[in-house]
Amino acid sequence: MTKFKLKGYHITPVFCFFIYLFVFLSSYIKTGEEYSVNRFLIMLVVQLMIFVIPAIIYKRIQGPINYRELGVAPFRASGLILAVCAAITMFSAAVLMGLDSRSDAGGFSADLTQTSFSGILYVVVIYCLLPAIFEEITFRSVIYGEYRKFGIPGAVLLSSVLFALMHFSLSGFFTYFTCGVVLALVYEVTRSIFVSMIVHFIYNLLSVFSYRILNDAAEKADSLIPFIFVFASLLLLFLFFSLSRAQRLLELYAQTIPESENGEYPKLTERLRALLISVVSPGFVLCIGFAFIAGIMKIKQ
């Protein structure tokens, strides 16, 4: 077994900090109120500069890019079923945790009631599709991939924390963290970044298009018990479907796993040590502090 190194645990949070910084600065970019090709191109370029270009530079600095390690791989048809089930599971959990009643999707919903088909298409592409693609490249292909070298549990935990912090939402942290866990596990089970992108996209669609309906229903309801019962039932049902499908995919993968991927992981004590060192590393602490300050500023706006 090669000597265990902690290099990735120090560098990865620093890379993530720059992502946070770009996300924060992008919130001050004014694109105008009217939907137009120029506004679309500006938002596209901004998201490319925030997520994709830094990810490419980060990976190129490390050496030749291995697309297989980044999850660029085909997926089985059953992976699509898992994606739908996981997305509904995530959305149900988000509703129950109260995120959607306070989320930024409300602004998108207001736009959807006042725009043409081109306006709706703009919202779907800019706020649903592109974030699903670009954020998955950054947080699952790159960040989760870096941490995975030291064990799956730690990779899921740390990448999900960093993903949640990126949204600068103090009240929504645990919901975003839960979403990060689900997305990381889907990526791990399917070995394909495309499946986690699909999960993320469906979740964004559900959040954007259902916000006004769910918010109005919750405000008009005499009791939230029926509301909670419905989404708790959906959560349990689709969680069961997700776990069943994931188990099947893991069984299929175990039968076809290449010998080259059947490597060794560090010992448990080494993984725990790496996890602790990562959490207290300057880069990780910087990410937490910056996200907290940005979250406070977001509330005051």
Identify the pLDDT of residue 225.
Answer: 85
pLDDT (0 to 100) of residue 39: 81
Q: Cβ distance 113 to 216 under 8 Å?
A: no
Residue 100's pLDDT band, with cuts at 50, 70 and 90, is: very low
- Locate the domains of the chain by residue range: 7-300
The tens digit of pLDDT for each residue in 172-227 reads 899 999 999 999 999 999 999 999 999 999 999 999 888 777 877 777 777 778 88
What band does 34 get if pLDDT is binned at 50, 70 and 90? low
Distance CA 131, CA 90 (A): 16
Note the pLDDT of residue 57: 94
Which residues neighbour 44 within 8 Å (Cβ) at sequence distance 6 or greater?
A: 126, 130
The alpha carbon torsion through 151, 157, 162, 166 (nearest 10 deg) reads 140
pLDDT number for residue 271: 77
Q: Which two tokens stand for residue 142?
A: 């790159």
Whether 124 has a pLDDT exceeding 50, the answer reads yes
Q: Is the confidence at residue 296, as pLDDT, over 80?
A: yes
Q: Is the pLDDT of residue 114 over 60?
A: no
pTM, two decimal places: 0.89
Per-residue model confidence as pLDDT tens digits over 227-250: 889 999 999 999 999 999 999 888
Picking from 140, 138, 143, the residue whose alpha carbon sits closest to that of residue 22 is 138
Rounded to 10 degrees, the C-alpha dihedral 129/135/140/144 comes to: -170
Cβ pair 87, 245 in contact under 8 A: no
Res. 149 pLDDT band, cuts 50 70 90: confident
- pLDDT greater than 90 at residue 158: yes
- Cα–Cα distances (Å) from 294 to 241, 267, 291, 301, in that order, read 37, 37, 5, 11
> What mean pLDDT do residues 115-124 have?
81
What per-residue confidence (pLDDT) applies to 256? 67
